[in-house]
């Protein structure tokens, strides 16, 4: 069958309408406190063989390949938009959850489904491996809208960014039958190798990419986001070429790039968010197309409920408790992390691996996972704010950082920062002279509504103002840190900054 220009026209029309409908549906899902994946999955089911459009799609190998590509984009966006300073304090727990926690969860779910559902051990372990990882898209979209402390969001984001790597390896070797030949120790060694090698490749690509981007004065600002994403995907491809974890590599590389002093960081993050939304829409719609509603019966629903119950009530809390050995936390924090283990596209994408390998019973596994994700997302997503308030981990006035955009000034070793004062920022009411920026940095313009002001020391800043700040490149980090201190603490930041203030002063003296 050939693909001509007339079919292209129809594809563009249908694709544009479906994508626009999915974008508009984000507001509906956000208002209900649900991850948007549910809307997208339902759109895919409606377009599929059981819906009025009757589109036939049953190519598991294509779904597997496209699913991995979409997950890579989502992980890249997650890394680029994650603040390392917020994540750093909880990264040990996140890494423990992504490795030790996954192992505990796989074992508990395998035992539970073997004895409760009567699944053969191979399928039970496969189901446990598929269900155990949390979903980066669901975690990033839901948790970032909640006023949670950094220790919780950092751990959950680190877990969702890193736990794809070991589970992909585990599901792959079980589906191909290699696990039975390799044994437990060899399988564990392979997972550790892929995870460590992928992370090292990600570090190398991220550091090298940041070095290049800081010195590349590209002719158009629109090229910077493209270049950064290409650098992240270079890490993915390089890791895959040496049989390491591409998912670990792309997440680590994007995390380094997103937290480096790169030009047009805000534009890069915004572009990556848009591309990630597009990847999510395409991924979930495709997975919805892959489902055959005629296969879903009462037995499938019961099996999905039982699997989700074992996962949510037993496996997840136990895995969180065991993982917290490396970084103890309060019981209420661990309880929230247990409930916030959101599943989404990742388990469904992993379920396409045994489908593409032709594993016996793989369609049953796919249907169970699909139904379980829908049911338990409906349960956990809307209840997260209530659970956070009940456990006392929510913060009503979590301070929000400034939005800082940067552009290089080619003829001098300096950067131009565009700073937007958020509504809740305590920079409101502060005079320009009270900012006390590092020597050599200065506020050159204040843009207020439609007016452009050349500021003096006594000019009072207001919420909603855009500031243009010129800073020597070597002082850029100190300047940004000083602006964030004032945004969080107001004019008293010079005294309240404490250890961070001393770091800024040391940077100013050098």
- Asked if residue 476 and residue 369 are part of one domain, the reply reads no
Residue 50 lies in a domain: no
Look at residues 391, 417, 451 and tell me which one is the last residue of a structural domain: 391
Longest Cα separation, the chain: 76
* Closest to 131 (Cα-Cα) out of 170, 100, 158: 170
- Asked if residue 71 and residue 164 are part of one domain, the reply reads yes
> What pLDDT score does 114 carry?
93
Residue 347 lies in a domain: yes
Look at residues 357, 391, 425 and tell me which one is the last residue of a structural domain: 391
Residue 433 lies in a domain: yes
**pTM score, two decimals?**
0.73
> What pLDDT score does 144 carry?
63
Q: Which two tokens stand for residue 205?
A: 């690509």
> What pLDDT score does 323 carry?
93
Give CA–CA dist 432/452, Å, rounded. Answer: 15
Collapse the DSSP code of 462 into the 3-class scheme (helix H, G, I; strand E, B; otherwise coil) and give the result: coil
* Closest to 165 (Cα-Cα) out of 286, 281, 70, 71: 71
* Closest to 376 (Cα-Cα) out of 307, 289, 317: 307
**Matching residue, tokens 């400034």:** 402
Q: Which 3-state string (H, E, C) describes 416-445?
A: EEEEECCCCCCCCCCEHHHHCCCCCCEEEE
**Cβ partners under 8 Å of residue 422, min gap 6:** 400, 401, 402, 403, 463, 487
> What pLDDT score does 31 carry?
56
CATH number of the domain that 104 lies in? 1.20.1530.20
**Cβ partners under 8 Å of residue 387, min gap 6:** 336, 339, 340
CB 121 within 8 A of CB 184: no
- Asked if residue 307 and residue 453 are part of one domain, the reply reads no
Domain count along the chain: 2
With a cut of 70, which residues of the chain have pLDDT below it? Answer: 1-3, 26-36, 50-51, 53, 137, 140-145, 178-182, 395-413, 494-510
- Asked if residue 387 and residue 430 are part of one domain, the reply reads no
- Asked if residue 74 and residue 189 are part of one domain, the reply reads yes
Residue 128 lies in a domain: yes
- Asked if residue 355 and residue 431 are part of one domain, the reply reads no
- Asked if residue 283 and residue 212 are part of one domain, the reply reads yes
Collapse the DSSP code of 401 into the 3-class scheme (helix H, G, I; strand E, B; otherwise coil) and give the result: coil
**Cβ partners under 8 Å of residue 446, min gap 6:** 432, 452, 453, 454, 455, 459, 461, 465, 466, 467, 468
- Asked if residue 311 and residue 198 are part of one domain, the reply reads yes
Query: Which of 124-148 are b and which e, b meaning 16 or more Cβ less than 10 Å from the residue's Cβ?
Result: bbbbbbbbbbbbbbbbbbbbeebeb
- Provide φ and ψ at 396, rounded to 5°: -70, -35
Beta-sheet pairing, 403-409 with 414-420:
antiparallel
- Asked if residue 380 and residue 281 are part of one domain, the reply reads yes
Look at residues 329, 358, 391 and tell me which one is the last residue of a structural domain: 391
C-alpha count within 13 angstroms, C-beta hemisphere, residue 43: 24
Residue 46 lies in a domain: no
- Asked if residue 185 and residue 313 are part of one domain, the reply reads yes
CB 373 within 8 A of CB 381: no
**Matching residue, tokens 């460590």:** 196
Cα 405 to Cα 270, 274, 355, 399, 409, distances in angstroms:
11, 17, 45, 19, 13
**Matching residue, tokens 């993050």:** 269
Residue 246 lies in a domain: yes
Residue 16 lies in a domain: yes
* Closest to 393 (Cα-Cα) out of 339, 341, 344, 342: 339
CATH number of the domain that 407 lies in? 3.30.70.1450
pLDDT in tens, 2-27: 667 777 888 788 788 878 877 777 66
Residue 396 lies in a domain: no
* Closest to 125 (Cα-Cα) out of 139, 136, 109: 109
Q: What angle (nearest 5°) sits at the alpha carbon of residue 174, between those of residues 345 and 317?
A: 55
- Asked if residue 342 and residue 222 are part of one domain, the reply reads yes
Mean of pLDDT over the chain: 82
- Asked if residue 436 and residue 326 are part of one domain, the reply reads no
Q: Which domain holds residue 453?
A: 403-509
């Amino acid at each position: 069958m050939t693909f001509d220009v007339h079919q292209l026209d129809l594809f563009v029309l249908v694709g544009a309408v479906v994508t626009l409908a999915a974008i508009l549906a984000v507001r509906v899902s956000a208002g209900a406190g649900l991850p948007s994946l549910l809307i997208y999955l339902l759109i895919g089911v409606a377009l599929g063989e059981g819906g009025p459009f009757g589109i036939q799609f049953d190519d598991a190998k294509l779904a597997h390949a496209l699913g991995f590509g979409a997950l890579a984009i989502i992980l890249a966006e997650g890394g680029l938009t994650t603040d390392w300073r917020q994540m750093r304090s909880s990264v040990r727990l996140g890494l423990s959850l992504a490795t030790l926690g996954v192992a505990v969860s796989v074992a508990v779910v395998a035992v539970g489904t073997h004895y409760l559902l009567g699944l053969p051990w191979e399928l039970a372990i496969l189901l446990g491996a598929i269900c155990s990882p949390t979903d980066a898209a669901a975690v990033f979209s839901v948790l970032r809208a909640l006023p949670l402390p950094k220790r919780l969001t950092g751990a959950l984001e680190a877990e969702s960014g890193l736990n794809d790597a070991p589970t992909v390896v585990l599901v792959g070797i079980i589906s191909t039958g290699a696990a039975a030949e390799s044994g437990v120790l060899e399988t564990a060694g392979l997972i550790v190798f892929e995870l460590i090698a992928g992370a090292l490749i990600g570090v190398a690509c991220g550091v090298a990419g940041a070095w290049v981007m800081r010195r590349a004065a590209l002719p158009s600002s629109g090229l910077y986001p493209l270049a950064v994403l290409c650098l992240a995907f270079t890490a993915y491809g390089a890791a895959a070429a040496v049989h390491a974890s591409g998912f670990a590599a792309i997440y680590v590389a994007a995390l380094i790039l997103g937290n480096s002093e790169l030009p047009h960081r805000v534009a890069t993050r915004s572009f990556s968010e848009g591309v990630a939304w597009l990847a999510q829409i395409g991924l979930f719609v495709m997975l919805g197309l892959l489902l055959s509603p005629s296969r879903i019966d009462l037995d499938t629903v019961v099996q999905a409920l039982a699997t989700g119950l074992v996962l949510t009530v037993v496996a997840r809390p136990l895995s969180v408790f065991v993982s917290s050995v490396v970084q103890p936390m309060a019981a209420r924090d661990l309880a929230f992390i247990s409930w916030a283990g959101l599943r989404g596209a990742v388990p469904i994408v992993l379920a396409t691996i045994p489908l593409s390998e032709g594993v016996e019973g793989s369609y049953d596994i796919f249907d169970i996972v699909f139904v379980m994700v829908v049911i338990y997302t409906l349960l956990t997503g809307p209840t997260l704010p209530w659970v956070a308030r009940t456990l006392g981990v929510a913060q009503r006035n979590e301070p929000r950082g400034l939005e800082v955009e940067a552009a290089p000034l080619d003829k001098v070793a300096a950067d131009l920062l565009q700073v937007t004062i958020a509504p809740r920022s305590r920079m409101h009411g502060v005079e320009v002279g009270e900012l006390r920026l590092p020597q050599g940095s200065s506020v050159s313009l204040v843009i207020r509504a439609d007016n452009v002001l050349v500021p003096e020391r006594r000019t009072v800043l207001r919420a909603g103002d855009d500031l243009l700040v010129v800073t020597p490149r070597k002082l850029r980090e100190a300047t940004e840190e000083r602006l964030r201190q004032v945004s969080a603490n107001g004019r008293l930041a010079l005294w309240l900054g404490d250890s961070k203030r001393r770091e800024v002063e040391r940077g100013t003296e050098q």
